[in-house]
Structure 1
Amino acid sequence: MAWPWRRRSRRRMARIAIEGAIGASTRRRVLKALREVEKREFPALLLRIDSPGGTVGDSQEIHAALLRLRETGCRVVASFGNISASGGVYVGVAAETIVSNPGTITGSIGVILRGNNLSKLLERVGIRFETVKSGAYKDILSPDRALSAEERDLLQSLIDSSYEQFVQAVAVGRQLDADVVRQFADGRVFSGAQAKELGLVDALGDEETARRKAAELAGLEADSQPVTLGKPRKQLMGLLPGSGLLRQLGQLLESEVLLAHQPLWLFRP
Structure 2
Amino acid sequence: QSPHVARVAIGGLIRNDRDRVEMLDKIGKSNASAVILSIDSPGGTVTGSEQLFDALRRLSEKKPVVAVVEGMAASGAYIAAMGSDHIIARRNSIVGSVGVIFQFPNVTDLLKSVGVTVEDIKSSPLKASPNPYTPTTPEARAAINSLVMDSYGWFKGLVSERRKLSDQKLDTVTDGRVFTGHQALGLQLVDELGDERTAREWLAREKGVSRDLRVRTWRTSSVGDEFGWLKGSATRLLDTLGLGPLAGLLSQLTGEALERAQLDGLLALWHPRQGS
Smaller-chain TM-score range? 0.7 to 0.9
Matches of 2:217 and 2:204 in 1, distance apart?
15
Give the whole-Å Cα distance in 2 for the aligned partners of 1:19 and 1:98.
16
Structure 1 residue 232, shift from structure 2 partner? 6.1
Query: What do you get for the CA RMSD once the two structures are aligned?
Result: 2.4
Deviates more, 1:193-202 or 1:163-172: 163-172
Q: Is the deviation greater in 224-233 or in 135-144?
A: 224-233
What is the CA deviation profile of residues 59-114 of structure 1, one whole-angstrom value per residue up to 9, with x for unaligned ones?
00110111111122x10100001111000101101111100011101111000111
Partner of 1:105: 94
1:244 Cα shift? 8.9
Contact 1:44–1:215 at 8 Å: present in 2 too?
A: no
Q: Does 1 or 2 have the higher relative contact order (CA < 8 Å, sep 6+)?
A: 1
Gaps of 5+ in 2: 237-243
Most deviating of 235-244 and 91-100: 235-244
Change (3 A) 1:245 1:205: farther
- How far is the alpha carbon of 1:217 from its aligned partner? 3.4
| Distance in 2 between residues matched to 1:244 and 1:211, nearest whole Å | 37
Matched, 1:229 2:234: no
SS of the aligned residue for 2:186 comes to helix
Name 1:67's counterpart in structure 2: 57
CA contact under 8 A between 2:169 and 2:187: conserved in structure 1?
A: no
Please list the CA deviations of residues 161-201 of structure 1 after superposition, one character each: whole Å capped at 9, or x if unmatched. 10011011111111224563233211111101000010000
Residue 251 of structure 1 corresponds to 256
Q: How much does 1:149 deviate? A: 1.2
The alpha carbon displacement at 1:233 in A equals 5.1
Give the Å deviation of 1:215.
3.8
Change in 2 beyond 3 A, CA 1:173/1:37: same
**1:265 counterpart residue number:** 268
Stretch deviating more after TM superposition (31-40 or 169-178): 169-178
> Of 22, 26, 29, which residue of structure 2 is paired with 1:32?
22
- Partners of 1:158 and 1:64 in 2: CA distance: 21
Q: Distance in 1 between matches of 2:255 and 2:158?
A: 30
Q: Distance in 1 between matches of 2:252 and 2:22?
A: 23
Q: What is the CA distance between 1:115 and its match in structure 2?
A: 0.8
CA–CA distance in structure 2, aligned partners of residues 254 and 112 of structure 1: 17
**C-alpha distance in 1, partners of 2:210/2:5?**
10
Q: 1:29, 1:230 within 8 Å by CA — same for their partners in 2?
A: no
The separation in 2 between residues aligned to 1:81 and 1:145, in whole angstroms, is 43
Q: TM-score, normalised by structure 1?
A: 0.86
Confirm or deny that 1:46 pairs with 2:36: yes
Inter-partner Cα distance in structure 2 for 1:243 and 1:135: 48
Q: Percent identity?
A: 35
Q: CA deviation at 1:249?
A: 2.7
Contact 2:56 2:84 in 1 (8 A): yes
| Unpaired runs of at least 5, structure 1 | none
What secondary structure is seen at the aligned counterpart in 2 of 1:13?
A: strand
Aligned AA for 1:22? I
Counterpart pick for 1:149 among 138, 143, 148: 138
- 2:73 counterpart residue number: 84
Q: How many residue pairs are counted as aligned between the two chains?
A: 256
